[in-house]
Amino acid sequence: MTFKELNLDREITSAVSKAGYEEPTPIQEKAIPVILKGHDLIACAQTGTGKTAAFALPVLSMLKDKKPRRIRALIITPTRELAIQIFDNFKKYGRYLKLRAVCIYGGAKQGPQIDALLSGGDILIATPGRLLDFMGSGYINLSQVETFVLDEADRMLDMGFIGDVRKIVKFMPQQRQTLMFSATMPKEIELLAQELLTDPVTIKVAPPASPAETVDQKLCFVNRADKNALLIRFLQSGEVRRAIVFTRTKYGADKLVRALLKAQIPAAAIHGDKTQGQRQNALERFKSGQYNVLVATDVASRGIDVPKLSHVFNYELPDEPESYIHRIGRAGRAGENGISISFCCSEELEKLRDIEKMLKKEIPLLETEYSAPLVRMPAARTASAKFSGHSARGGHSGRAARTDQARRDSRTGRSDRTGRSSRAGYTGRAGRTASGEHTRRTRHAKSRMYSSATSGGGFT
């Protein structure tokens, strides 16, 4: 199916092809006709499926020819990052239309947002708290809302926003179209849907392929003191076009940026201590290619839409194994296989074990000139090492672990008892090309999302 066959206006299909989208994703194919017919909708779809365009395109299409500058579409989403991302998408898809979107969210100055509201808008994208604040101050009138989109409803629930949503809905006309998007459908969300929606059509789409399957993952055992040097080697190798480097702490992120700048590598950090403006600025400059390296903590990275990352580096392994999946999911979103390279020092072996347990496989080792002779700790051995009072951490965590590794090595044909892989492509200096090793699994390209950095245009 093509976008044209979805009966979207020409201005919208042109904007979509300018964004580089060739065909609708499954959620778009299913949701757009339902929304254009005016039905209420419950869509079970995760981020990464193209769900934003699934509601943004028909909403733009429906508003296009009507009297402008009244809030006729309201989109509520749980986080400011998502709000900005949705706003950017509306700008991108509405670039050839005369509609105007306004975005309001907490954690940023009220003044510019109030000015934007006072100038009038057709589409309002908001986080619940800020919306209620502004409604209380009389800046917002929801009486003309025709389409209400509740985005990431299950996350709203997790974040305790459902009460706010119920309050907001009271200020909208009963006669409206309501679209609910949620990755999962817990009981409370089902109840909320019964309350807010009328005869909804329900659609479900499969979650996008797990990054654990699509991203080419590598592991480097390296001493903590060598991590900066190793990262710089990778970044200077010419292989890395665009990368996010994840650190565990905000302090670590800032320190690393200073080290990269000293090595003449343009980089910026985004983390929770930065103001919203600083984060947005760093993100914009990264998107525009001014920096090719963004250093981020997990919290700051959630919900940001960064196109075309060739590499994700785990400078430090995350505390939560699930964060590893979120992190590496940032790689390879541009129709080609992304690469993730994780650094692991002796203090992080336990975290590595938890990650590999979740992945149900070992991450292949990549040998570099900074390779440290560490061994992975088998779970059972770790436990007995702890019982006997020996340290379960450290590079050589006891005979038991080494013996077990040696056994595995003999099975896999490795001879190096230090745990270094004799299969890894990176047999020399980190600066050498690793591309021979990175098989391009283009068959995954179709199942994953493409993104475009373009935005702006006639749509303000």
Instruction: Single out the segment in contact with ligand AMP by CB under 6 A; choices: 33-41, 46-54, 346-354, 383-391.
Output: 46-54
- Residue 186 half-sphere exposure, CB side, CA atoms within 13 Å? 9
Taking the complex as a whole, the smallest distance from the CB of residue 30 to ligand AMP amounts, in Å, to 13
Closest C-alpha among 80, 91, 83 to residue 19: 91
Asked if 151 touches ligand AMP (CB under 6 A), the answer is: no
Q: Which is nearer to ligand AMP, 382 or 451 (CB)?
A: 451
Instruction: Single out the segment in contact with ligand AMP by CB under 6 A; choices: 18-26, 132-140, 394-402, 416-424.
Output: 18-26
User: Residues binding ligand AMP: what is the number (CB under 6 A)?
Assistant: 15
Instruction: Single out the segment in contact with ligand AMP by CB under 6 A; choices: 20-28, 112-120, 137-145, 156-164.
Output: 20-28
DSSP state of 237: S
Asked if 449 touches ligand AMP (CB under 6 A), the answer is: yes
Instruction: Single out the segment in contact with ligand AMP by CB under 6 A; choices: 23-31, 286-294, 416-424, 436-444.
Output: 23-31
Taking the complex as a whole, the smallest distance from the CB of residue 439 to ligand AMP amounts, in Å, to 23
Residue 139 CA to residue 117 CA, distance in Å, equals: 7
Strand order in the sheet with 311-314: 216-221, 339-344, 311-314, 243-246, 293-296, 267-270
> What x-and-dash track marks residues 279-318 binding ligand AMP by CB under 6 A?
--------------------------x-------------
Asked if 50 touches ligand AMP (CB under 6 A), the answer is: yes
Asked if 51 touches ligand AMP (CB under 6 A), the answer is: yes
Taking the complex as a whole, the smallest distance from the CB of residue 24 to ligand AMP amounts, in Å, to 5
Q: Which is nearer to ligand AMP, 55 or 426 (CB)?
A: 55
Separation of CA 458 from chain center: 27
**Numbers of helices and strands, H then E, in the chain:** 18, 13
Q: Which is nearer to ligand AMP, 20 or 373 (CB)?
A: 20
Q: Which is nearer to ligand AMP, 48 or 107 (CB)?
A: 48
Q: Which is nearer to ligand AMP, 28 or 323 (CB)?
A: 28
Dihedral, CA atoms, 139, 143, 147, 152, nearest 10 degrees? 50
In terms of phi and psi (left: phi > 0; alpha: psi -120 to 50; beta: otherwise), the region of 62 is alpha
DSSP state of 377: P
Number of CB atoms found within 10 A of residue 358's CB: 14
Asked if 47 touches ligand AMP (CB under 6 A), the answer is: yes
Asked if 211 touches ligand AMP (CB under 6 A), the answer is: no
Which of 234, 370, 450, 459 contacts ligand AMP by CB under 6 A? 450
**With contact defined as beta carbons under 8 Å apart, do 223 and 370 qualify?**
yes
Angle, helices 128-136 vs 110-118, to 10°: value is 70
**Which string of DSSP letters, residue by residue, matches 325-374?**
HHHHTTS--SSS--EEEEEE-GGGHHHHHHHHHHHTSPPPB---TTB---
Taking the complex as a whole, the smallest distance from the CB of residue 126 to ligand AMP amounts, in Å, to 17
DSSP state of 5: G
Q: Which residues bind ligand AMP (CB under 6 A)?
A: 21, 24-25, 28, 47-53, 305, 449-451
